[in-house]
Structure 1
Amino acid sequence: MTGLPGSLADLGPAALAAVVVAGYLVVGEPLVGHVLHRRFEERLRTDARARRSFYGRLLVLEWGLATVALVVWLAAPGVDAGAVGLRWPQSFPGPLATAATVLVLGFVVLSTRALRSGVLARAAEEVRRSGEGRHAEPAVHATLALLPRTPAERRLFTVVGVTAGVCEEWLYRGFLLAVVAAVGGGPSTPVLVVVGAVAFGLAHAYQGVAGVVTTGVLGGVMAALYLGTGSLLLPVLLHALVDLRFLLVPAAALPDAVPGPA
């Protein structure tokens, strides 16, 4: 449905730059993300502005990288907007993509209810009191640490959530899958879905194994939805919804201090 590139020749003079940026998304982003989140967690212990500062860094990094990918795509005259998902949906999602989307929406509802009821916060508090905070599950820790507490943090987090929907779908679905298709000579849809899942999961390696699996599944669903409709529109909306659900979690349901991961 997407008319993806069939060879590197389609990327023209932008081929090398496109491969470099795609390589960074798969290999470099997990390393950079780990370092940034570890520094954020350390700063969070002593700096009340740590979250707002981290949100600001995320906005700069995501929009900056998305802009670089956009410039690279513009330098590839043989790849039109449809080949990177920048168009209206061309068809309805297939049955598998639809079922996967329903499952993701169910996950959004259930996880939001768990957060609102303070389930994760109580679990983190029990770990802290038991003196085992250093062994807290990284995915739970990373989620709790990043959630906004104050009105100012919530406003900025709203921008971050929308940014994640737009930039990450453009980078990991529109741009990355076009480059993978060009390098692989037009791989099948299942292969592209797996690549999209693995790359997106690895980008969240700072969350530990559970986080990689969860975000990997989400990445696969988004890739299937994108490839099935030929457009990034629905993945962007669904992705933003997944992130913005955290705004429904009241600050009272979150711990003031979050135990650090191992």
Structure 2
Amino acid sequence: MNITPDFSVLGLALTVPLMGYVLAEGIIGKRSYDRMQRRRDEDPKALTGMYRTWIAGAWGSVALVLAVLAVSPGIAPSDLGLNLPAEASETLGMIAGVAFAMTVVALAIGLRGGLPQRQGATGLQPRTTAERWWAAAMSVTAGVCEEIVYRGFLIAFGVGVLGLETTPAALLALALFAAGHLYQGWQSMFLIALVGGALTRLYLTTGSLVLPIIVHALIDIMAIVVLPALNGRRSAETAG
């Protein structure tokens, strides 16, 4: 994949708050997550409120990425992965294959009684219908926004501003992606880095963020909406 972004002076200025958001996201996210955990049993809106805040922050960061693109004539949308893949039919086939595989896994897990959730993600499990809708919205938001910021923008930033080759820029972006999930704990961050590495590979292979966005959103929907619902249903059947 050929990434050759040329940031304008104004574009570079706009990267300052954007990089500030990226560097602070892990700490801010952990603080808001811990606060939500303390308040959740007393405040029925604690989880949805946190999701709303996270969603707003994520889309705000994407707005900054698009602003950098708009004021930098030397940056093509394809430098940020904002283009359709060259082999659209192949990509659609891969998307269908991933969706089918994840559906089969979900059904198998449901039949076998569900899986224990990762410790770092237990606080994100929805308990009500409203929470499930917000969890789904957060999953889609993460799929779109995190891929645009952590894959598209950060790799381009590493190449165009820091002067790195694509691979070192991708590794730096991957480290920041894992750090942004600090609230889930160190063990989960290792798993997140592995998933992020696979998404990075998809991006650099296809030259587009389309497939990484879809796969990322499906993974998050599975983790914080589908599997908790399957586990909850199985627990209710066992208790009954």
Return the TM-score normalized by structure 2.
0.81
Partner of 2:78: 82
Matches within 5 A, 1:214-225: 214-225=191-202
* Contact 2:3/2:156 (8 A) holds in 1: no
Please point out which of 24, 31, 34 is paired with 2:27.
Answer: 31
How many residue pairs end up in the alignment? 222
Amino acid at match of 2:57: L
Amino acid at match of 2:31: V
- CA apart distance, 1:23: 4.8
* Contact 2:3/2:159 (8 A) holds in 1: no
Partner of 2:236: none
* Contact 2:151/2:170 (8 A) holds in 1: no
**Cα–Cα, structure 1 residues 55 and 80, in superposed 2: closer, same or farther, change >3 Å?**
same
Partner of 1:141: 119
Query: Can you list the C-alpha shifts for 1:103-161, whole angstroms capped at 9, x where unaligned?
Result: xx78x948x938x835426xxxxxxxxxxxxxxxxxx3331110112122112222111
Please point out which of 12, 20, 39 is paired with 1:15.
Answer: 12
**Cα–Cα, structure 1 residues 24 and 56, in superposed 2: closer, same or farther, change >3 Å?**
closer
* Contact 1:196/1:223 (8 A) holds in 2: no
Partner of 2:152: 174
Please point out which of 39, 42, 45 is paired with 2:41.
Answer: 45
**Cα–Cα, structure 1 residues 192 and 223, in superposed 2: closer, same or farther, change >3 Å?**
farther
**Cα–Cα, structure 1 residues 250 and 21, in superposed 2: closer, same or farther, change >3 Å?**
closer
Could you say what secondary structure the match of 2:198 adopts?
helix
> How far apart, in 2, do the equivalents of 1:250 and 1:220 lie?
25
**Cα–Cα, structure 1 residues 34 and 146, in superposed 2: closer, same or farther, change >3 Å?**
same
Please point out which of 66, 69, 75 is paired with 2:65.
Answer: 69
**Cα–Cα, structure 1 residues 90 and 208, in superposed 2: closer, same or farther, change >3 Å?**
same
Partner of 2:91: none
**Cα–Cα, structure 1 residues 228 and 19, in superposed 2: closer, same or farther, change >3 Å?**
farther
> How far apart, in 2, do the equivalents of 1:4 and 1:205 lie?
31
> How far apart, in 1, do the equivalents of 2:56 and 2:20 lie?
20
Matches within 5 A, 1:54-203: 54-91=50-87, 109=105, 113=109, 117-120=113-116, 140-188=118-166, 190-203=167-180
**Cα–Cα, structure 1 residues 153 and 12, in superposed 2: closer, same or farther, change >3 Å?**
same
Partner of 1:131: none
The CA RMSD measured in Å over matched residues stands at 3.0
Higher relative contact order (CA 8 A, sep 6+): 1
> How far apart, in 1, do the equivalents of 2:27 and 2:67 lie?
24
Amino acid at match of 1:164: A
Amino acid at match of 1:64: G
Partner of 2:185: 208
- CA apart distance, 1:252: 7.0
> How far apart, in 1, do the equivalents of 2:140 and 2:206 lie?
21
Return the TM-score normalized by structure 1.
0.74
Query: Can you list the C-alpha shifts for 1:19-67, whole angstroms capped at 9, x where unaligned?
Result: 5523531x21111111111111111131122122222112111111211
Partner of 2:3: 3
What is the aligned-residue identity percentage?
33
> How far apart, in 2, do the equivalents of 1:210 and 1:60 lie?
27
* Contact 2:203/2:211 (8 A) holds in 1: yes
> How far apart, in 1, do the equivalents of 2:83 and 2:30 lie?
33
